[in-house]
A = this chain, B = another copy of it.
């Protein structure tokens, strides 16, 4: 009886972080799952049933939950994939077009990305801790991408300086969400108010308990 039983092929396992290479079919199912989820989310929103995604991907339910233990993990994965794609598109667009055109095109690309996010806003505001890290990732990837385009446009003398990439991203996001057009003015005014509250002469803030009870 050959007794080496499963010699634990961990040769390349302990090297990097990944415990072991993924089986070929698993890899295939995973990508087709992500693709299907992307399409379904775009069509029916992020509240679409997991079964619908599994069926579209030609995959069993168990497979879905093997790769994405929670429904939210699938949503997060799709979101990150699309954010990455959008961020990566910036450098390619910058290579193909002049600064002004590149900026305009990427913004269009960004809007398209937002257009497929039906229902995600609700999930983000739901308080579910599974999504709390998403906005940070969002900024981390998209802000530098836009900043390079913006800097190039400024350097070319086409766009005025002093525009923050993050502000621009938020502005576009708000424009895509609803009709709250006066958003930036409102925010600036209220923050100015808050800063005024820090000035000398006000006492309530430092001892809030005094004005209550």
Interface residues of A (CB under 8 A from B): 45, 101, 104-105, 108, 118-119, 121-127, 163, 167, 170-171, 174, 178, 180, 185-186, 188-190, 192-199, 201-205, 208-209, 211-212
A212 with B196: CB separation less than 8 A: no
Task: Taking A45-B127, A199-B201 as given, write out 12 further A-B residue pairs in contact, using a Cβ cutoff of 8 Å, ordered by the A residue number.
Answer: A105-B212, A108-B212, A119-B126, A121-B125, A121-B126, A122-B125, A127-B178, A188-B208, A188-B212, A193-B198, A195-B204, A197-B202
Give the docked Cα–Cα distance between A209 and B199 (Å).
19
A197 with B201: CB separation less than 8 A: no
Copies in the complex: 2
A192 with B167: CB separation less than 8 A: no
Query: Which B residues are in CB contact (< 8 Å) with A101?
Result: 211
10 smallest CB-CB distances across A and B, nearest first, come from A122-B126, A197-B197, A196-B202, A193-B197, A196-B197, A171-B190, A192-B208, A193-B205, A189-B208, A121-B125
What's the minimum C-beta distance from A120 to chain B, rounded to whole angstroms? 9
Query: Which B residues are in CB contact (< 8 Å) with A163?
Result: 193
Give the docked Cα–Cα distance between A209 and B170 (Å).
20
What's the minimum C-beta distance from A114 to chain B, rounded to whole angstroms? 14
Query: Which B residues are in CB contact (< 8 Å) with A193?
Result: 163, 171, 194, 197-198, 204-205
What's the minimum C-beta distance from A180 to chain B, rounded to whole angstroms? 7
- Name, among A180, A188, A195, A205, the residue most crowded by chain B CB atoms within 10 Å (CB to CB): A205
